[in-house]
Structure 1
């Protein structure tokens, strides 16, 4: 799979989020930013993204996925800290 394919899958399955994808083949790094993560524990956030890709993971199309999730406010703070 290509990063744009993973992004399209996630965008079609999780509303109101922005996704930044890096990687190739079956190994990807996902950064997800959205209101959908508000009030969720880190584990629940991960589960939300994993469940959106469960078919691709089960088929082997995706193998290794690292996920970082942020609310829009957290993302803004993270961006400010990297400048």
Structure 2
């Protein structure tokens, strides 16, 4: 699979499973980085947030399509602040 196809697949799997305002996926051939934005994360711990994002990816992690994943989650206010400083 090409890099762009993997990014689109990861984005689709996450968007189909979760109610997100935004999801940003970058894949460089070995590392998949995901930024997920939603107020659904407000009441979840950091671990629960990451588990929610990783769960829809279980099959493609298991089959080796992706293997190294970094997840950052934000509510909308956190995302706006983070964008100002990055």
RMSD: 1.5
Flag as ranges the 4+ runs of structure 1 deviating above 4 A. Answer: none
For structure 2, list consecutive stretches of 5 or more residues without a partner in the other structure: none
Structure 1 length normalisation: TM-score? 0.86
- Matches of 2:21 and 2:45, distance apart in 1: 17
Q: How many residues were matched structurally?
A: 82
Deviations for 1:21-75, whole angstroms, at most 9, x for unmatched residues?
Answer: 1114453100001112111111111111111211111222221111110000100
Query: Which one of the candidate residues 8, 12, 18 is aligned to 1:8?
Result: 12
For structure 1, list consecutive stretches of 5 or more residues without a partner in the other structure: none
